[in-house]
Amino acid sequence: MPLVLHKHAVAEVGIGTGSGFQQGRLTIDREALVSYVRSQVSRVTDVRVGIARPGEATRIVCVKDVIQPRVKKEGAEAGDGILCVLENVAVVTCGPIVGFQEGIIDMSGPGAEHTPFSQFPLIVLEIDVVEGLDPHLHEEAVREAGLAAAGFVAEVCRDTEPDEIEMVALTEISTEADLPRIAYVYPVLCQGLLHDTYVFGRNAKEGLPITVAPEVVMDNGVVSGNCVSACDKNTTYHHQNNPVIAELLRGHGSRWNFVGIVLTPAPTRLAEKENAAKAAIEQVVQLKAEGAIVSKEGFGNPDADMMMIVRGLEQAGIRTVGLTDEFAGTDGGSQSLADTTPEADAIVSTGNANERIELPAMKTIFGPLPDVTRLAGGYPHSLRDDGTMEVELQAIIGSTNELGFGRLTCREV
């Protein structure tokens, strides 16, 4: 069964009385949203709701997640039925630091060029939780609050005519078509300790790798619960709009034969990594793939997972391209990865996350600004008294996304 996406284009977002959606204008009832979130997540004590718009002098700090509002209109199974989607808008959760890896979104200036989330209006939730809450429960509370808010917002389009309808179903291509068979290996972080991803509502530590169809992933199949550095953390929005899946679907049946997605875990222990890589490679072999795209999340530790997968696939005769960012030092003069393999001869670089960027002061700030000095990619001296700051790209949400969402790359000079 296919997944049918009912897409609703949002042109404008505002706060008002009574939530609604008319002719592209989305209205959020602040009181109703806040009381809904609090009713769903008891550990949340306060939520401040604001709107950040493209081009505004607005900075959002300690961003935990970005979520596209979506609601299931019909169908109980993942990857089946009608999913209503609000396009060109997202819910952003932020608030006091949990780990060190929350990030920055600037709505204008040089920082805005490095995050995809400066391009459309954002519904920003600054979330406070009960005092003394353990960091893991804090992360969980903020994650659940964001998902609840996105669901609440999406309800407005449940009964509205969509602007666009898209069917997503991976159809079989006749082998006579003689198109190259391409698989997608999609690793998700599941290292525990604030580095977790949830697949179909369960921690990705269990039950992976699995071979899934794109419509299943696109039906909110993958949710971020992790605090890896902002630059290459795959937010829930990135999972919902995975660009590798979108591109592979676009050329499916005409330029290549997209044979499936292998969702695979990126755990911490070496033996777990080896087992996961081996199992993922077997599944790609089962798909009779001739080539595979391997994406990534995080850096350092996950470099090892990527290299194992690439090596194993190439040795099995399956050609690979890996997507990774680089940590080449602020001057770009260092080696970029913590692990390498000679088989990884085709790499797409999504940029050097250590490169520094100067950010201007902003008029409107969401979240606790002084915490930027403690973020991964910030420095104790990052924030100056006049509100300007210097950070590494590492601190900006989605700046070196390793699903290949953006256009940033790195060259040798």
Partner 1 sequence: MAKVHVVHYLNQFFGGLGGEEKADLGPQWFDGPKGPGQLLQTLAPDIEIVGTVTAGDNYMAENTDAAVDEVVGLIEKNAGAEIDLLLAGPAFNAGRYGMACGAVCQAVQERLEKPAITALYPENPAVDIYRKAVTIVRAGSDVMGMRDAVGGMVAVAKKLVEEQAIDPATDGTISRGLRQNTFAESTGAQRAIDMLMRKLRGDAFETEYAMPVFSRVPPAPPVKDLSSATVALVTSGGIVPRGNPDRIESASASKYGEYSLKGLERLTPESHQTVHGGYDPTYANQDPNRVLPLDVMRDLEREGRIGRLADTYFATVGNATSVERAEQFGREIAGKLINFGALAVILTST
Residue 15 or 410: which CB sits closer to partner 1?
A: 410
Tell me phi and psi for residue 296, to 5 degrees.
-155, 160
How many residues sit close enough to partner 1 to count as binding (CB under 8 A)? 84
Contacts (CB under 8 A) with partner 1, residues 125-144: 134-136
Both tokens assigned to 183? 């698989």
With CB under 8 A as the contact rule, the residue among 132, 201, 317, 380 that binds partner 1 is 380
Strand ranges (DSSP E) for 278-373? 291-294, 319-326, 347-352, 356-359, 364-366
Alpha-helical segments (H) within 14-96: 30-40
CB of 52 to partner 1, least distance (A): 23
Ramachandran class of 109: left when φ > 0, alpha when ψ lies in -120 to 50, beta otherwise:
left
C-alpha triplet 86, 110, 242: angle, nearest 5°: 35
Alpha carbon distance 273, 123 (integer Å): 38
With CB under 8 A as the contact rule, the residue among 210, 282, 368, 379 that binds partner 1 is 379
197 makes contact with partner 1 (CB under 8 A):
no
Applying CB under 8 A, which part among 12-20, 42-50, 79-87, 189-197 lies near partner 1? 189-197
Contacts (CB under 8 A) with partner 1, residues 85-114: 99-101
Residue 246 or 365: which CB sits closer to partner 1?
A: 246
Residue 41 or 179: which CB sits closer to partner 1?
A: 179
Contacts (CB under 8 A) with partner 1, residues 199-258: 227, 229, 243-244, 246-248, 251, 255-256
CB of 179 to partner 1, least distance (A): 10
Contacts (CB under 8 A) with partner 1, residues 34-73: none
Q: Which of 94, 190, 227, 231 is catalytic?
A: 227
Residue 72 or 138: which CB sits closer to partner 1?
A: 138
CB of 346 to partner 1, least distance (A): 5
CB of 382 to partner 1, least distance (A): 9
CB of 301 to partner 1, least distance (A): 8
CB of 138 to partner 1, least distance (A): 10
355 makes contact with partner 1 (CB under 8 A):
yes
349 makes contact with partner 1 (CB under 8 A):
yes
Applying CB under 8 A, which part among 37-45, 146-154, 157-165, 346-354 lies near partner 1? 346-354
Q: What are the Cα distances from residue 227, in Å, to 99, 115, 117, 191?
A: 6, 17, 18, 11
CB–CB of 398/236 below 8 Å? no
Alpha carbon distance 273, 258 (integer Å): 26
Both tokens assigned to 37? 């979130």
Contacts (CB under 8 A) with partner 1, residues 157-186: 180, 182
CB of 327 to partner 1, least distance (A): 5
3-class state of residue 31 by DSSP: helix
Strand ranges (DSSP E) for 120-250? 122-129, 164-168, 181-189, 195-199, 202-203, 210-212, 222-226
Q: How many CB atoms lie within 10 A of CB 258?
A: 27
370 makes contact with partner 1 (CB under 8 A):
no
User: Has 94 been annotated as catalytic?
Assistant: no
CB–CB of 71/155 below 8 Å? yes
With CB under 8 A as the contact rule, the residue among 50, 82, 374, 387 that binds partner 1 is 374
3-class state of residue 107 by DSSP: coil
Contacts (CB under 8 A) with partner 1, residues 279-298: 290-293
Q: What are the Cα distances from residue 279, in Å, to 263, 265, 274?
A: 11, 10, 9
With CB under 8 A as the contact rule, the residue among 37, 323, 359, 372 that binds partner 1 is 323
Alpha carbon distance 159, 23 (integer Å): 13
Provide the annotated active-site residues.
227
